[in-house]
């Protein structure tokens, strides 16, 4: 691979070449910087670039040459979603009309990346305050008239177009996995609390989860492992560290039990999505996995529950902004949602939390019988930007409701879920496959995803 095509390589292949001196971190940084300068004016993945990034790459190069190699992220350019606070770049959480109002300090996850030697290249565009599924004006590299998804859309665009080696996102109801699915990359939502959230602008305290978007499953596991660990400023942090072993990449699925919930996750699907996912199920069965089907009628009430929790949480966070009239600066769609949270009563919220507990108990029973739940990530591929409704299985549905129908249940129970590309539709748009394991069992989700990725001959679907 020539130096100008380093952007095509996943971190897992770049890291050893940097470590042994075949390439250096400045050469790698310059490759991404050239692509950003050439492509991002059109694609809109970034809202800010770090003025210190190249200097950081130079420092990494010098440290590695001096024998002070810190590990596989040393010298690797990583993009950061605009709701993570950083010491060298402003944080606006997707706001356009408001200047930086957050401290310029590194949050826990960002600090761990810096300590590992990563080069934080820039801040990626997001849907304002992590609401919404379009991330305007970012464009999907596979079809620039279509949405990249949200709210971590800029990170999805950066990965699909080769504008970073890895990117950070946040996931409250699917905001990592949806852009990963629509843009053709890997998106990993770890167990709730595995990665500390101090320094991440809140959306919903009991749902928000930090995680990476990457070119491969191993890259996702690597970045998540570096960011995992204690965070005394986040009461929701588990303090656990994601320890990677050879089983993540080498173990097979022979003897693994994979569950399919046909009554929710396989209803009202785009035909191409259904065919692609069924092909992957067949592949796993052929590799020795046992496929079982189960039903979750409880999911019929799930969307209302998570929506009530999100609305109430977001409105609580923005209470002062609403009181002082500063919500008028918000985009109309976001302002409407933030103000709608005032209509969620205490009884509504408690009913939603009771439902959530019931779903957790029900899913604990499921995971006592299966190792993995497999679903499509999204029932459809990227839809035209600005289109508020989509047609699925002959019925009209809200694009917002459709896009997170298969992702939000796993936020409610705090389970690890990973999306990876599993093909393309007839228009050449990426299709995502979602694999979910029981809470705290992130390794099983990554292990199964690595097997699917190997069957597909690699995951990343990057635009040249």
Catalytic residues: 81, 151, 175
Residue where the block lists tokens 């993945």: 45
**Contact between 169 and 159 (Cβ < 8 Å):** no
The reply to whether omega before 137 is within 30° of 0 (cis) is: yes
**Residue 217 to residue 214: CA distance in whole angstroms:** 7
C-alpha separations of 301 from 101, 208, 357 in Å: 37, 21, 13
Find the helix packing angle between 11-19 and 217-227, rounded to 10°. 70
Separation of alpha carbons 130 and 149, rounded Å: 11
Q: How far apart are CA 354 and CA 364, in angstroms?
A: 15
C-alpha 79/C-alpha 92 separation (Å) is: 15
Q: Determine if the peptide bond prior to 151 is cis (ω within 30°).
A: yes
- CA-based nearest residue to 76, from 216, 247, 181, 208: 216
């Amino acid at each position: 691979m020539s130096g100008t095509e380093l952007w095509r390589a996943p971190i897992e292949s770049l890291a050893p070449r940097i470590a042994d001196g075949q390439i250096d971190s400045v050469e790698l940084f310059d490759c991404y910087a050239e692509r950003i300068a050439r492509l991002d004016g059109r694609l809109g993945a970034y809202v800010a670039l770090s003025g210190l990034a190249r200097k950081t790459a130079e420092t990494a190069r010098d440290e590695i040459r001096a024998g002070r190699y810190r590990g596989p992220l040393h010298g690797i350019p990583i993009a950061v979603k605009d709701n993570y606070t950083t010491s060298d770049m402003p944080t606006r959480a997707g706001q356009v009309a408001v200047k930086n109002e957050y401290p310029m300090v590194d949050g826990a996850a960002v600090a761990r990346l810096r300590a590992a030697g990563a080069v934080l290249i820039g801040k990626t565009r997001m849907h304002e305050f992590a609401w919404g599924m379009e991330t305007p004006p970012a464009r999907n590299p596979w079809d620039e008239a279509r949405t990249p998804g949200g709210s971590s859309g800029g990170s999805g665009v950066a990965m699909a177009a080769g504008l970073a080696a890895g990117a950070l996102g946040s996931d409250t109801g699917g905001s990592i996995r949806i852009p990963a699915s629509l843009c053709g990359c890997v998106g990993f939502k770890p167990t709730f609390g595995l990665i500390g959230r101090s320094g991440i602008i809140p959306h919903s305290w009991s749902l928000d989860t930090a995680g990476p978007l990457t070119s491969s499953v191993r890259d996702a596991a690597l970045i998540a492992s570096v960011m995992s660990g204690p965070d005394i400023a986040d009461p929701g942090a588990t303090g656990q560290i994601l320890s990677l072993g050879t089983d993540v990449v080498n173990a097979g699925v022979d003897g693994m039990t994979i569950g399919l919930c046909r009554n929710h996750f396989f209803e009202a699907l785009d035909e191409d999505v259904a065919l692609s996912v069924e092909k992957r199920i067949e592949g796993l069965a052929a590799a020795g996995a046992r496929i079982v089907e189960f039903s979750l009628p409880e999911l019929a009430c799930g969307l209302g529950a998570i929506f009530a929790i999100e609305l109430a949480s977001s409105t609580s966070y923005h209470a002062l902004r609403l009181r002082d009239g500063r919500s008028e600066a918000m985009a109309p769609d976001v302002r409407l949602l933030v103000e709608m949270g005032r209509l969620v009563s205490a009884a509504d919220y408690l009913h939603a939390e009771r439902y959530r507990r019931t779903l957790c108990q029900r899913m604990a029973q499921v995971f006592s019988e299966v190792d993995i739940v497999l679903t499509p990530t999204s029932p459809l591929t990227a839809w035209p930007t600005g289109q508020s409704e989509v047609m699925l299985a002959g019925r009209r549905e809200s694009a917002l409701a459709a896009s997170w129908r298969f992702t939000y249940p796993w936020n409610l129970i705090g389970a690890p879920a990973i999306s990876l590309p599993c093909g393309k539709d007839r228009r050449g748009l990426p299709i995502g496959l979602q694999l979910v394991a029981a809470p705290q069992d992130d390794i099983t989700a990554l292990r199964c995803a690595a097997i699917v990725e190997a069957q597909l001959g690699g995951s990343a679907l990057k635009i040249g």
